[in-house]
Structure 1
Amino acid sequence: MTDTPPPATAAGYDPGLYNADLAPVPAERRDWSWVNMATVWMGMVHNIVVYEAASGLMALGLSAWECLEVVAVAYMVLFLAMWFNARAGTRYGIPFCVLIRSAFGPYGAQLPVVLRGFCAIFWFSVQAYAAAQAVDAVLSTLSPAWASMTPSLLGMQARMWLAMAMVWALHAWIASHGVHRIRNFELVAGPLVIIVGLLATIWGLRVGHGLGPLFAQPSHLHGAAFWSTFAMGVTGMIGMWATLTVNIPDLSRFVRSERDQVVGQAIGLPITALVFTPMGIITTSATIILFGHPIWNPVDLLLALNHPVVTVLGGATLVLATLSVNVVANIMPACYDLVNLMPRRLDFNRASRLVLVLGVFFMPWLWFNEAAGIYRVLDLISGLLGPVTGIMLADFYIVRRQVLDVPALYRHGGRYDGRNGWNVPALAAFAAGGAVASAGHVVPGLAGLNTVAWFVGVAIGAGLYLALSPRRDAHPAEDAATLSNA
């Protein structure tokens, strides 16, 4: 079952570049309102990684209030980047893997698409395993028989294999029947997790008799040290969402208007983040009073509280939060990326099942023993995706002047073909921007670049692409006709 049936004018499209799931969403089928866009973002923003992010910033010496300032700056930058990059999806109804062909060419586009798909499946695997840990914690607390299932296979105990099977099955159920079911799931999951977070915050305020000790902790950084840490925190926050910055058209293609897209993202992204972050800080403040030390990991907190009802409800909330971020931020873009690679063989539903299988082969239980390795790999990928964001923005707003010949995106040999399907300016800008943005990870003397890697990648990617590309498209008359029919 697909969400976007092929238009009647599909004749002449290259079958290696087109199928029903990659086709432009007709205007009459773009039925997401600002409420849908906001709840989708709510479902993504309140996840375990974001919850724990404040602990990392405070461990570096920032105060709780300065953490909120970092969150405000980072998510405002993300909102602006996603607002502008989402516009092409809303206007033309096309996904990221099709839109990127305008800048990279149909063959060259496969490079950022594969990179984005790899990162999506990797993140899905890691986050789904985190949810499986929550399931295991709950069932181990409630059932001695469950806790006794200790035989191991491939480095993981039997009960964790069963917990993973449960979590994978939940992901499969939500992802089945395509984007329509995902939208409806997020309409419930996003607000529900916020409500549970509010209950936890009220508990934290009662235990702490106010905001708690973490909000009373002063900043330990000043001058250059403060600004360096502040910049690193902003870049780190952006890095968590650098992947979605490039593929936001996968979501915005279903939104009915530009206004709905902007309002929904404004509510769901910076506003939700500014509400969710202090929730985590206040709840953690309560753990200092109760246990004498901060507990930032929600699973550890549930085990420490040791209350069956709280454990079950809290564990269910953690699983729900992980599902809500995984299906939209990871499974959905990975499906489109896989369909783009094999449009003759895959549709959205088949691709979603393939994502689940590939997620197991990433063996996340082994990566969890090398957490530093996870973030090192993902930081490198984020550094490479910064230039992709810059190239996409420069191409759509300056080179193409916000006008695309949509049918040409589904054919070889047209205006977006570059040199035999490879657009050299985009490839050169991507390579140069990615190399500079990631240089700090391999050259110790350039480690300072890590604090602004995403910004450097965006700037170099956009600047070099514009320097190597013509300033306007070659067929403005045809583009005008395309726009009038879009």
Structure 2
Amino acid sequence: MSTISPEATNALNVKDPSLYNEDLAPVPKEKRNWNWINYTTVWMGMVHNIVAYETAGSLLGLGMSVWQALATVIIANIILIIVMWLNSVAGAKYGLPFPVLVRASFGYNGAHFPILIRAFVAIFWFAVQAYAGSMAVGAVLGALIPGWNSLSAFNILGMGLNEAIAVALFWILHAYIISHGMERVKFFELWAGPLVIVLGLGLVVWAIFVSRGLGPLFEEPSTLSGGEFWGIFWVSVTGLVGTWATLILNIPDFTRFSRSQRDQVIGQAIGLPGTAILFAIMSIITTSGTVIAFGEPIWNPVELLQRFDNPIVLILGAFALLIATLSVNVAANVVSPAYDLVNLLPQKLTFVRAGLISIVVAIFFMPWLWFDNAGTIFNVLGAIGGALGPVAGIMVADFYFVRKGNYDLDSFYKKDGIYAYKNGWNPKALIALGIGLLASFIGLIIPALQQLYTYSWFLGIGAGFVSYLLLMRTSSSGQEAEIEKAPPTVN
């Protein structure tokens, strides 16, 4: 009977240094300590932010009634949690982040392409959120420092000097939090999310007071005809899904720390559709109240706080908004590109270094030049969803239908494993990605099909899923569609 020598056994488990470092390694069982409360509060911290508030409130600015806006938010969040759950399982099962898991479908070299798309979008989204939060910083400083607003006479890169200082200060706050790694992120999210609920409830009470009850808020009619409503409805659903398109992909970056599948499933169920819908209701009711109080919908919460002309209300409210935006930005838009950049240069970058690089790169998107517009927000969100939808479809198809829910753990870190494909590239995944991107953006390319862009995320995820599955099922190589055995135990 032959035996395998210790040297041969070690050779089988050798990890290529260009594919492996501590941040990309499976999280050991003893360090998977996030429970359902952690996932609930992380999502609370992420959904309670200025952009999410504006996105929900701006539905009224687009002409929807309160009931139509609520239905739009609820449907979008039901779709979101289903896709989020589907892509969460592998992270919790293997303790692996998105940049490693995506190697199974694209190959270790091919994976760089979707990773770079996702990193680009996350850094862009960080810039948007950070600028929104910097407005709260500026509002606080304006209430505390005489002559603060006069600094706007000095222009820097299209901003007033006061605005530029607020942006710089808020960027520095992000750097401080991320410099302490994922444990600091976990601690910060634990209390940041619930804090914003207090502000939201306060604004809801105000809206009910000025409207003399909930009735007038819900009686405001829609200004949209039937055809107009359905067009805006699908654009809005796609935009709301696009808000979390990056998280759909990189949710394994969080579920890799889960104690169990049950913890991440329950925590996300409460945290995403539950608190997201609650926060949207707060935003929509408050924005509806502004129509009654001021004669126009005000969906920018900083502008609303300034309308109260009360420095104490402004400072407390802006502080809550600042914490909320820090919370979502660190969790959703720094963690993901940090892991992405580490994957590109595992021998040179750590999670913290990569996170700080992401923050610096984000400045070059200059969101202050184009931000405050409801139509622009939904167009940008639709483009984000369209770009990332095909990758999500490919990952879901690969894990559940090609791999039957099982990955070979060692092969993620080898250049001669079953995910090597052709020199690290899986042409079929790249073709599927191209088909998915074409489906997402064909409405922009061909004017006659412009209406299809309304459904960009849905078309992208569907086309990516179907085309990848068909290409892999008709593969001539048995290795590419190999159904793997149970993975080795992670120690």
Classify the TM-score, shorter chain.
over 0.9
Match for residue 35 of structure 1 among 12, 34, 37:
37
Deviation digits for residues 345-392 of structure 1 (CA, Å, limit 9, x no counterpart): 100111121112112233333343888667655533421211111100
Residues 1:72 and 1:371: Cα distance change in structure 2 (over 3 Å): closer
Distance 1:371 1:292 in 2: 18
Residue of structure 1 equivalent to 2:432: 429
Distance 2:230 2:64 in 1: 10
Are the aligned partners of 1:23 and 1:94 in contact in 2 as well (CA < 8 Å)?
Answer: yes
How many angstroms does 1:184 deviate by? 0.7
Is 1:319–2:322 an aligned residue pair?
Answer: yes
Match for residue 449 of structure 2 among 443, 446, 449:
446
Residue of structure 1 equivalent to 2:55: 53
- How big is the alpha-carbon RMSD for the aligned residues of Structure 1 and Structure 2? 2.4
Distance 2:297 2:12 in 1: 58
How many angstroms does 1:80 deviate by? 0.4
What one-letter code is carried by the residue in structure 1 that aligns with 2:440?
A: A
Distance 2:474 2:253 in 1: 27
Distance 1:9 1:292 in 2: 72
Are the aligned partners of 1:182 and 1:327 in contact in 2 as well (CA < 8 Å)?
Answer: yes
Aligned 1:8-19 pairs, distance under 5 A: 12-19=14-21
Deviation digits for residues 292-312 of structure 1 (CA, Å, limit 9, x no counterpart): 322211111121111010010
Distance 1:212 1:357 in 2: 47
Match for residue 268 of structure 1 among 264, 271, 281:
271
Residue of structure 2 equivalent to 1:482: 487
Deviation digits for residues 306-354 of structure 1 (CA, Å, limit 9, x no counterpart): 1010010111111111111100110110100111111111001111211
What one-letter code is carried by the residue in structure 1 that aligns with 2:424?
A: G
Are the aligned partners of 1:208 and 1:285 in contact in 2 as well (CA < 8 Å)?
Answer: no
Residue of structure 1 equivalent to 2:366: 363
Residue of structure 1 equivalent to 2:172: 169
Are the aligned partners of 2:39 and 2:264 in contact in 1 as well (CA < 8 Å)?
Answer: yes
Residue of structure 2 equivalent to 1:341: 344
Distance 2:366 2:411 in 1: 40
Match for residue 198 of structure 2 among 195, 199, 204:
195
How many angstroms does 1:476 deviate by? 10
Unpaired segments ≥5 residues, structure 2: 1-9
Distance 1:73 1:371 in 2: 20
Distance 1:10 1:131 in 2: 49
Residue of structure 1 equivalent to 2:260: 257
Distance 2:436 2:213 in 1: 46
Are the aligned partners of 2:87 and 2:249 in contact in 1 as well (CA < 8 Å)?
Answer: yes
Match for residue 76 of structure 1 among 75, 78, 102:
78
Find the residue that maps to 1:482 and give its secondary structure. Answer: coil
TM-score, normalisation: structure 2: 0.92
How many angstroms does 1:164 deviate by? 1.8
Distance 1:282 1:80 in 2: 27
What one-letter code is carried by the residue in structure 2 that aligns with 1:70?
A: T
Find the residue that maps to 1:295 and give its secondary structure. Answer: coil
Unpaired segments ≥5 residues, structure 1: 1-7
Match for residue 204 of structure 1 among 203, 207, 210:
207
Are the aligned partners of 1:212 and 1:282 in contact in 2 as well (CA < 8 Å)?
Answer: no
Distance 2:92 2:482 in 1: 22
Distance 2:374 2:205 in 1: 32
Deviation digits for residues 403-459 of structure 1 (CA, Å, limit 9, x no counterpart): 001111111122111111110111001001111111112322112112221111111
Deviation digits for residues 146-181 of structure 1 (CA, Å, limit 9, x no counterpart): 223343333323222321222112111211221111
Residue of structure 1 equivalent to 2:7: none
Distance 1:303 1:201 in 2: 16
Residues 1:234 and 1:374: Cα distance change in structure 2 (over 3 Å): closer
Are the aligned partners of 2:238 and 2:382 in contact in 1 as well (CA < 8 Å)?
Answer: no
Distance 2:185 2:86 in 1: 24
Distance 1:138 1:199 in 2: 18
Residues 1:230 and 1:377: Cα distance change in structure 2 (over 3 Å): closer
Residues 1:233 and 1:377: Cα distance change in structure 2 (over 3 Å): closer
Aligned 1:235-254 pairs, distance under 5 A: 235-254=238-257
Residue of structure 2 equivalent to 1:232: 235
Are the aligned partners of 1:212 and 1:285 in contact in 2 as well (CA < 8 Å)?
Answer: no
Match for residue 307 of structure 2 among 290, 298, 304:
304
Match for residue 394 of structure 1 among 390, 393, 397:
397
Distance 1:20 1:247 in 2: 18
Residue of structure 2 equivalent to 1:97: 99
Distance 1:190 1:367 in 2: 28
Are the aligned partners of 2:102 and 2:111 in contact in 1 as well (CA < 8 Å)?
Answer: yes
Match for residue 129 of structure 2 among 105, 122, 127:
127
Distance 2:482 2:453 in 1: 44
Distance 1:22 1:154 in 2: 38
Residues 1:223 and 1:345: Cα distance change in structure 2 (over 3 Å): same
Find the residue that maps to 2:334 and give its secondary structure. Answer: helix
How many angstroms does 1:61 deviate by? 3.5
How many angstroms does 1:222 deviate by? 5.5
Distance 1:80 1:483 in 2: 28
Distance 1:118 1:440 in 2: 22
How many angstroms does 1:484 deviate by? 5.3
Distance 2:405 2:287 in 1: 46
Residue of structure 1 equivalent to 2:144: 142
Distance 1:129 1:57 in 2: 21
Higher alpha-carbon deviation: 302-311 or 55-64: 55-64
Residues 1:393 and 1:478: Cα distance change in structure 2 (over 3 Å): closer
Find the residue that maps to 2:473 and give its secondary structure. Answer: coil
Residues 1:56 and 1:371: Cα distance change in structure 2 (over 3 Å): closer
Distance 2:297 2:61 in 1: 11
Aligned residues: 479
Residues 1:221 and 1:294: Cα distance change in structure 2 (over 3 Å): closer
Find the residue that maps to 1:469 and give its secondary structure. Answer: helix
Distance 1:328 1:157 in 2: 29
Are the aligned partners of 2:73 and 2:240 in contact in 1 as well (CA < 8 Å)?
Answer: yes
Residue of structure 2 equivalent to 1:288: 291
Distance 1:456 1:25 in 2: 34
What one-letter code is carried by the residue in structure 2 that aligns with 1:88?
A: A
